[in-house]
Amino acid sequence: MHPAYSVIFFTTASGAGYGALVWLAIFAATGTVAPTTWTGLAVFALALSLITAGLLSSTFHLGHPERAWRALTQWHSSWLSREGVAAVLTYIPTLLFALGWIVFETYEGAWMIAGIATALAALVTVACTGMIYASLRAIPRWTDATVVPVYLVFALASGGAAAFTVFTAIASPAPEWAWAVALVITAAWALKLVYWQRIDNAAPVATAESATGLGGIGRVSLFEAPHTSDNYIMREMGYRIARKHAGRLRIIAIFLGMAIPVPAFLAAGFIGGILTTFLAFAGLSALAAGILVERWLFFAEARHAATLFYGTDTV
Residue 95 lies in a domain: yes
- Convert the pLDDT of each residue in 276-308 to its tens digit: 999 999 999 999 999 999 999 999 998 888 877
Residue 315 has pLDDT above 90, yes or no: no
- Convert the pLDDT of each residue in 127-141 to its tens digit: 999 999 999 998 999
- Convert the pLDDT of each residue in 162-175 to its tens digit: 999 999 988 888 88
Name the residue range of residue 18's domain.
Answer: 5-310
Residue 313 has pLDDT above 80, yes or no: no
Residue 269 has pLDDT above 70, yes or no: yes
Residue 211 has pLDDT above 80, yes or no: no
pLDDT of 239: 75
Residue 144 lies in a domain: yes
Number of domains in the chain: 1
Residue 27 lies in a domain: yes
Residue 315 lies in a domain: no
Res. 208 pLDDT band, cuts 50 70 90 = confident
Whole-angstrom distance, CA of residue 37 vs CA of residue 51:
21
Residue 65 has pLDDT above 70, yes or no: no
Angle at 185 between CA 180 and CA 188, to 5 degrees: 125
CATH number at residue 24: 1.20.1630.10
* Stronger pLDDT, 307 or 87, i.e. the higher one: 87
Residue 48 has pLDDT above 90, yes or no: yes
- Residue 140 contacts by C-beta under 8 Å, 6 or more apart in sequence? 202, 205, 206, 303, 305, 315
Whole-angstrom distance, CA of residue 239 vs CA of residue 307:
9
Beta partners for 207? 314
